[in-house]
Amino acid sequence: MKVIVADKISERGVDLLKKTPGLNVVVTTKDTIGAELADAEALIVRSATRVTRDLLAKAPKLRAVGRAGVGVDNIDLQEATRRGVLVMSTPGGNAVSVAEHTFALLLALARQVPKLDSALREGRWEKSSSGTEVRKKTLGLIGLGRIGSEVASRAEAFDMRVIAYDPYISESAAKELQVELVPLDKLYAESDFISLHTALSPATTNMINAVSIAKMKKGARIVNAARGELINETDLAEALKSGRIGGAALDVFIEEPPKNCPLIGLHNVIGTPHIAGSTQEAQEEVGTQVAVQIRDYLAEGIIRNAVNLPALSADQYRRVRPYLELAERLGSLVTQAADSRPGRIRIRYAGEVAEVGTHLLRSAVLAGVLNAVLDEKVNVVNAPAVAAARGLAVEEETRRREHGFPHTLEVSALPEKSGAAGFSAEGTVLFDGTPRVLAIDGIPLEAQLDGTILFLRNNDEPGVIGSVGSTLGKLGVNIATFSLGRREAARGAEAVSLVRLDGKVPDSILEPMRALPAITQAKLLRLGNS
């Protein structure tokens, strides 16, 4: 079996593969890879080689792609999945390196190390500019995954108070790290230092902006070694110039390398060129880890850290695929619509849904719950482990459905403590394979589970549909479909709506919706590729 190593990884990883019986290891470059693809069964890359549709087309025997690193932006996941090629990454391999660099930036910012070093080199002895201690200061972590957890443990050693905002980790898991979970606004208001460790998503893009900065403690300092797009660079630059923000230390930028970034050159900004995870140890670790994963998959079929669906038989794929999509979208819907952090996920299967592999459906539900907020891709392969690590409990049951659609899946996002109210959605797959929702919190309605959806809860009164439509019209937002259901046939009864909207829809439409007299709740939900 031929394994191509297209980008430089650790020698230990290459040697491990070469010593494995039955493997023919070929180290290529961008100029020689094309000639080796025809009979390759596995491909190992870092970030330089782009695994495109064209490249995959030249490798008809390819079974696996291993990415030495977390991100898989250089791999066409959709095409790889379509071809039955398993894609694996190496999450966590550089967590310590990123955490250490985060703390290096934090300390350099607190003690003004670059500024003082520069002054000394220029012959100035600026002994009075000594910065501030981090002891007893409050560190606010936005994201408490692998890297955020490593940062938290280091902050404890520096006698810092650590608070965190992470909607998808349980109170018990945070408590083990001696971290207090708080709402985002509370984190902004109380943190002396704010460090970003969240994935990039529609909800987190530009989350550090003029509005959020106004909620922060005056003089707070910001550290970002996650994603450049989390920060509105223009807004942060203005806050740094005015003194509203005391300083920023950045390893990532929207454009890399930065060319017209307003932050570069400011006296209270420290910058490094996206090297937080690029230590010798981290590269050694991910290089060895990806080699082990490829070896074990080829030799024994063991799958670790997959970021797409594993290959299935034609019959399995035909039966499971529609319900997997339904499960993932129901998980995403209930998590986005729930009022509180889900501590438990309840799944109820009926009919054929209970016969096609509930372990796969459970994983797909969890992927929908977790996928938008994590650094690495979550799917049916790794979702259970990720959920368990974050303290997310799962309850399952099968049932008979006497009326209506016999084959259904119901997903509920429930608070950590039993007995409290949650949010549920029930759905099915239609004859054409499309996933549909059938009920919200027990209220019957039917809607397509795709795109941008405005979820409304309201009192059933005359004129609600008209006022919603006219308000959206004034905002320039077009309605694709409008699905309405109510709990009982009585004026004033509780009603819910799922309004599918066309195009890109900003969160700013929610305020006018909430201002309508009959509306009691309004949220934007984004499902599928929206």
> Are residues 263 and 388 both part of a single domain?
no
> Are residues 226 and 323 both part of a single domain?
no
Structural domain contains residue 425: yes
How many domains does the structure of the chain reveal? Answer: 4
> Are residues 409 and 455 both part of a single domain?
no
Angstrom distance (rounded) from CA 483 to CA 445? 6
Mean per-residue pLDDT, 123-139: 89
Instruction: Among 242-251, 400-409, 412-421, name the most confident range.
Output: 242-251
Give Cα separations from 162 to 154, 155, 191 (angstroms): 10, 7, 9
Is residue 329 predicted with pLDDT exceeding 90? yes
Question: Of 441, 457, 474, which residue sits at a domain end?
Answer: 441
Structural domain contains residue 276: no
> Are residues 151 and 126 both part of a single domain?
yes
Structural domain contains residue 433: yes
> Are residues 68 and 179 both part of a single domain?
no
How confident is residue 453, by pLDDT bands cut at 50, 70 and 90? very high
| Active-site position among 274, 321, 487, 526 | 274
> Are residues 359 and 430 both part of a single domain?
yes
Structural domain contains residue 307: no
Mean per-residue pLDDT, 326-336: 93
Catalytic, 67? Answer no
> Are residues 57 and 134 both part of a single domain?
no
> Are residues 133 and 222 both part of a single domain?
yes
> Are residues 149 and 184 both part of a single domain?
yes
Is residue 59 predicted with pLDDT exceeding 60? yes
pTM over 0.75? The answer is: no
Catalytic, 318? Answer no
Structural domain contains residue 306: no
Sequence-distant (≥ 6) Cβ neighbours of residue 385 within 8 angstroms = none
CATH number, position 104: 3.40.50.720
Catalytic, 390? Answer no
Structural domain contains residue 305: no
Q: What is the pLDDT of residue 468?
A: 95
Domain residue limits at 233 = 95-271
Taking only the tens place, the pLDDT of each residue in 345-393 is 999 998 877 776 677 788 889 989 987 556 556 767 677 878 888 888 9
| Closest residue by Cα to residue 369 from 383, 358, 382, 356 | 383
Q: Is the distance from CB of 189 to CB of 215 less than 8 angstroms?
A: yes
CATH number, position 481: 3.30.70.260
Question: Of 407, 441, 475, which residue sits at a domain end?
Answer: 441
| Active-site position among 256, 281, 397, 461 | 256
CATH number, position 398: 3.30.1330.90
| Closest residue by Cα to residue 438 from 524, 360, 330, 526 | 330
Structural domain contains residue 175: yes
Angstrom distance (rounded) from CA 383 to CA 380? 6
> Are residues 378 and 406 both part of a single domain?
yes
| Active-site position among 221, 227, 362, 401 | 227
Cα dihedral sign, 453-456-460-461: negative
How confident is residue 303, by pLDDT bands cut at 50, 70 and 90? confident
> Are residues 380 and 419 both part of a single domain?
yes
In the chain, % of residues over pLDDT 70: 94
How confident is residue 311, by pLDDT bands cut at 50, 70 and 90? very low
Structural domain contains residue 236: yes
Q: Is the distance from CB of 112 to CB of 129 less than 8 angstroms?
A: yes
Q: What is the pLDDT of residue 388?
A: 86
Mean per-residue pLDDT, 393-419: 83
Which of the two residues, 138 and 323, has the higher pLDDT score? 138
Q: Which long-range contacts (CB under 8 A, 24 or more apart) does 258-263 make?
A: 261/233, 262/233, 262/234, 262/237, 263/233, 263/236, 263/237
Q: Is the distance from CB of 365 to CB of 345 less than 8 angstroms?
A: yes
Mean per-residue pLDDT, 471-493: 88
> Are residues 258 and 190 both part of a single domain?
yes
